[in-house]
Structure 1
Amino acid sequence: MSRWSESERTYSRPWHGPLRHYDILKEATIGFVVVLVLTFLLAITFSSPDVPPVTIQSWAKAQPAGFVDVALTELNRTSTTATYGPPYNNQTGSLQSLGPVSIQKFFGVKYPINTARDFVLNPLATLPHFPALTRAISTYEHASTATQDHWVGIYLSKMNKLPLSSATIVAHLPSAGPVPELMTHLLAMAQSGALDAQLLTQSSFYTTNYTNPLMFIGDSVVAQPNSYWNKLVTTDHLQGDQWGVMNETGSWPGQPWMWLYTMWYQVPPMSNSSDVDVEVLAIMTVLSVALLLVPVIPGLRNIPEKLPLYRLIWRRYYRDPEFTDVQRT
């Protein structure tokens, strides 16, 4: 049997001191009402603005040529998403490791994305009554990969000469095969909002999975520094080097409970590491486990007892001789 400390023996004694009436229901009700009122007042005062959502439609209208440029990288499988790696595909473009261990490879491809098919060809195939488009899709799909890449490369070289906000794209370019026809219809589909709907409904019956449109829009970050998406996140201070994960749009407080997680992205060597995500995940996992194990770690579990903070909280108890005398007996 383990020996009890003096404080444990003291706390285990029956209480023979004076008793005071305490209505816990009354206290709980008062506390609930106060917190509810404060919540409503703070929500009205500090709630974030209702910013319209960023969609592929808004992007395609603001930067038509910019949208087509990124769509071409999806078609020839050179975009960030196409080369990302697990959980989207088996590439290695964004593969991160913790030492010799790759968590991404361990879990594998859980959400497969074929950018050419999922972002371009499948949505276009849903458009009815366009014989020229149907022929263009068939021609492209039956061509070899080398021929497809050749067509896209020629068309992309022409599009790169246009400013991102250009409303006029290259509509006819025989040397690019069926690609101009595909891009003309994809741009029209995006500007109408139909592409947003198609990218949502591809994943499941429920339209709450926004992975596909988010990945499509996000691919413009690396490809185009002046892209529509980059301008928005920079204006709202949502870039990764601006503690973006805990920021809110506009001059509004974001998620302050995220500061501990976000902080590690700004601290070397993580801030300069290509494996920063998995390193921060490992750090937060260790800290979270340590927090859960506080009650069973010797020395660490005694810190609250050694610190005099509890005496400040229970100051009335400790300054009343009637209570302290009973404790000592």
Structure 2
Amino acid sequence: MTETPATGQSYRPYDLVKEFVIALGVVVVLTVGLAVVFSSPDDRPITLASWSNADPNDFVATSVTELDGTSATATYGPPYTTTSGAAQRIGPLSPQQWAGVRHPVDTAHDFVLDPLERASAHDPLLSLALQVYATAPSAQERAWTAHYSAALAKAPGGDPTKVPAGDYGPVPVMMGRLLGLAQAGGLDGTLQSEGGVRFYQTDYTRPLLYLSDGSYLESRARAQHLAGDQWGMMNETGNYPGQAWLWLYTFWYQVPPFSSSANADALVWGVMAVLTLALVLLPFIPGLRSIPRLVPVYRLIWRDHYRRQNPPR
């Protein structure tokens, strides 16, 4: 027994494969076109090796601040150091200090002395320089690094090779060997291993801290409009979703009072904590939970449904 179509109904041929091919072609063209216009550049990762080769003067100047404990990392406070008064605050509260130093970093040893100690096994001159530096009083170490840092700042272009002779002790030899180690790529692996031999070197905390203390990383960021006072946003290739999800977090750094506050990190963290809590508790907050009902955007979205529910007379 064959069924006949109901009165007023008819059949039409429909090519589902043809529709799929057309839709696929449109999506491919749009994807490629938008990727060409809006995609992020596929830049190579910035490493200590690339930094030291591209801007050796900045690398040496930064390494001196790591050695004498005046770099941004050395004076940052928790979770890296115990620097007094360095923690940011939200009024009387200091969330930065609540967890304490969870990732201790001694820039002089972790970034300079320990890597050089490993490299000194077959370098008698470096071994002697490290021994002289280690046996000298702390005041003498500070004097050597201070003299060398001042002379480096006055050298043409900050070039270590143009620093005049002076009372620098073994610091010039140490900086020269550290630069060579970094340019050869050995410093990246040493810092990622964190003092031990690890097959998978996936912790980039210390190399990134080292990079951030210099001016090379910031100059590269500004060239891509990614500095803290710029609005740029880059989606890292091969690391979905990249930085795009951070737009709401970074937005607050662009507006007062956060943009001019020394406690901007803590204040922005506090704002985001409040906003996140409000989102979690949205179903329980009177007024906020009624916004979807009071602003009937849903009726516009589902207008066909409501039109069928209330047909015109």
Check 1:304–1:174 CA distance in 2 against 1; reply closer, same or farther (3 A cut): closer
Check 1:80–1:290 CA distance in 2 against 1; reply closer, same or farther (3 A cut): same
Which of 80, 89, 93 aligns to 2:81? It is 89
What are structure 1's unaligned runs of at least 5 residues? 1-29, 221-226
Which of 267, 273, 276 aligns to 1:285? It is 273
Note the 1:1-329 alignment, pairs <5 A: 41=31, 44-45=35-36, 46-92=38-84, 94-127=86-119, 128-164=121-157, 166=159, 168=161, 170=163, 173=165, 175-202=167-194, 205=198, 206-220=200-214, 227-244=215-232, 246-247=233-234, 255-320=243-308, 323-324=309-310
- Provide the TM-score with structure 1 as the length reference: 0.77
Q: Distance in 2 between matches of 1:201 and 1:256?
A: 30
Q: Which amino acid aligns with 1:130?
A: D
Check 1:167–1:83 CA distance in 2 against 1; reply closer, same or farther (3 A cut): closer
Check 1:164–1:107 CA distance in 2 against 1; reply closer, same or farther (3 A cut): farther
Greater mean deviation of Cα atoms: 105-114 or 45-54: 45-54
Check 1:40–1:317 CA distance in 2 against 1; reply closer, same or farther (3 A cut): closer
**Deviation digits for residues 179-213 of structure 1 (CA, Å, limit 9, x no counterpart):** 12111111111111111121111266231111111
Report the CA distance between 1:70 and its aligned residue. 1.1
Check 1:310–1:65 CA distance in 2 against 1; reply closer, same or farther (3 A cut): closer
Report the CA distance between 1:150 and its aligned residue. 0.8
> How many percent identity over aligned positions?
46
Q: Distance in 1 between matches of 2:101 and 2:30?
A: 44
Q: Is the 8 A contact 2:152 2:159 kept in 1?
A: no
Report the CA distance between 1:175 and its aligned residue. 2.2
Q: Is the 8 A contact 2:253 2:259 kept in 1?
A: yes
Q: Distance in 1 between matches of 2:151 and 2:210?
A: 21
**Deviation digits for residues 259-278 of structure 1 (CA, Å, limit 9, x no counterpart):** 32222112211211111111
Greater mean deviation of Cα atoms: 263-272 or 108-117: 263-272
Q: Which amino acid aligns with 2:31?
A: L
Q: Is the 8 A contact 1:173 1:180 kept in 2?
A: no
What are structure 2's unaligned runs of at least 5 residues? 1-19, 237-241
Report the CA distance between 1:134 and its aligned residue. 1.0
Check 1:234–1:299 CA distance in 2 against 1; reply closer, same or farther (3 A cut): closer
Q: Distance in 1 between matches of 2:157 and 2:76?
A: 24
Q: Distance in 1 between matches of 2:252 and 2:122?
A: 53
- What SS is found at the alignment partner of 1:262? helix
Check 1:129–1:93 CA distance in 2 against 1; reply closer, same or farther (3 A cut): farther
Greater mean deviation of Cα atoms: 120-129 or 261-270: 261-270
Q: Distance in 1 between matches of 2:28 and 2:105?
A: 45
**Deviation digits for residues 114-141 of structure 1 (CA, Å, limit 9, x no counterpart):** 0000000000111131111111111111
Aligned-pair Cα RMSD in Å: 2.7
Q: Is the 8 A contact 1:74 1:115 kept in 2?
A: yes
**Deviation digits for residues 64-93 of structure 1 (CA, Å, limit 9, x no counterpart):** 222111111111111111111101010046
Q: Which amino acid aligns with 2:273?
A: T
